[in-house]
Amino acid sequence: MAESKEEALFQEKVDAEQKIEPKDWMPADYRKNLIRQISQHGHSEIVGMLPEGNWITRAPSLRRKTVLLAKVQDEAGHGLYLYSAAETLGIGRDELNDQLLTGKAKYSSIFNYPTITWADMGAVGWLVDGAAIMNQVMLCRTSYGPYARPMVRICKEESFHQRQGYEIMNVLSHGSPEQKAMAQDALDRWWWPSLMMFGPSDADSPHSAQSMKWKIKRQSNDELRQIFIDRTVQQAEVLGLQIPDPELKWNEETQHYDWGTINWDEFFNVIKGNGPCNKERLTARQKAHADGAWVREAALAYAGKKAKKKAA
């Protein structure tokens, strides 16, 4: 279908690196794509609090507890920034929340895996937040202004998340043999699901081509995944831990690591709702929402009273 004048002007703005703002004209599909991606990103932040929240009461020291508490609180803030960005596109907070609570909305597959030992707090910070940073640094340059701007702050906080995770892994991997074994076990369980965070391969990504044209995405899923692997393998070497991929080896020609194959059946199964913790995560969010009803009612009553007083 021939491009309309508005669409041509819109693409010119994107190509000229001008940020698109809420009041600007935008193709309906650009808006729809952004609501899809930003809302799922926000849901990922909120659901992502659960696996780590599970260890706040069991952290091995007060220092570890306070650091983990700060990290989980950061994730809540990231979710709020992202929901606010999504609202500028015309979707309400209640609708976003309802999509999550009814299981209609997606969130990152990675949060449907269990956090079994304390070393998982290290692996999640190091690998999951590390992978999220790769993707979110790219999103600092996304074409939609209200999505790009909060990314700057989110990335600064994610860097702290990644460092605290890596520091946990460093202490464990240089600790007792039992601690090192716990760190290796966590790496074994979190490595491949972390690679899945970048999404399906480029050949199987229905959104990438259009998202790249509209500069929502600046790098492809496979490109970011490869950079993440290249960087993380070296970090694992410092830890003295083995990446669970027998096909991993440095390729002098490409100057990248060659690596094995992701279990895409597992990936699509998890995003279909059949991961180890999907049901548990949804139930936890539904319970939190129900338990918080009284706060919402009180806030609405107070706001209503205040508005009445003002009108009188």
CA distances (Å), 9 to each of 16, 20, 144, 223, 263, in order? 10, 12, 15, 29, 42
Nearest-10 crossing angle of helices 278-291, 93-101: 140
- Nearer to ligand 3HC (CB atom), residue 180 or residue 232: 232
**Of 54, 51, 17, 14, residue with least CA distance to 30:** 14
Phi, psi of 197 (to 5 degrees): -60, -25
Q: Build a one-symbol-per-residue string for 121-160: x at contacts with ligand 3HC by CB under 6 A, - elsewhere.
A: -------xx--x--x----------------------x--
Residues 51-80 that bind ligand 3HC (CB under 6 A): 75, 78
CB 41 within 8 A of CB 11: no
35 binds ligand 3HC (CB under 6 A): no
Q: How far is the CB of 297 from ligand 3HC (least distance, A)?
A: 30
Q: How far is the CB of 255 from ligand 3HC (least distance, A)?
A: 24
SS3 144: strand
State both tokens at 252. Answer: 């002098």
Among residues 187, 196, 229, 239, the one that binds ligand 3HC under rule CB under 6 A: 196
Minimum distance from CB of 197 to ligand 3HC (Å)?
A: 5
Q: For 186, phi and psi rounded to 5 degrees?
A: -65, -45
Taking contact as CB under 6 A, which single stretch among the options 38-46, 228-236, 237-245, 285-293 is the one that binds ligand 3HC? 38-46
> Least separation, in Å, of the C-beta of 18 and ligand 3HC?
21
Beta carbon of residue 168, minimum distance to ligand 3HC (angstroms, whole number): 15
Q: Per CB under 6 A, which region of 19-27, 106-114, 115-123, 243-251 contacts ligand 3HC?
A: 106-114
Region 228-267 residues binding ligand 3HC, contact defined as CB under 6 A: none
Residue 109 contacts ligand 3HC per CB under 6 A: yes
Number of residues that bind ligand 3HC (CB under 6 A): 30
Sequence-separated (6 or more) residues with CB below 8 Å from residue 76: 45, 46, 49
CA distance 142 to 75: 20
Residue with tokens 């500069």: 215
Q: For residue 43, give the amino acid letter.
A: H
Question: Is residue 96 involved in binding ligand 3HC (CB under 6 A)?
Answer: no
Indicate the SS3 state at residue 206: coil
88 three-state secondary structure: coil
Q: Which of 23, 176, 206, 255 binds ligand 3HC (CB under 6 A)?
A: 206
Among 211, 219, 226, 232, binds ligand 3HC (CB under 6 A): 211
Burial of 268 (0-12, 13-18, 19+ CB in 10 A): middle
Of 57-65, 191-199, 226-234, 253-261: span binding ligand 3HC (CB under 6 A): 191-199
Residues near ligand 3HC, by CB under 6 A:
36-37, 40-41, 44-45, 48, 75, 78, 106, 108-109, 128-129, 132, 135, 158, 196-200, 205-208, 211, 217, 221, 271
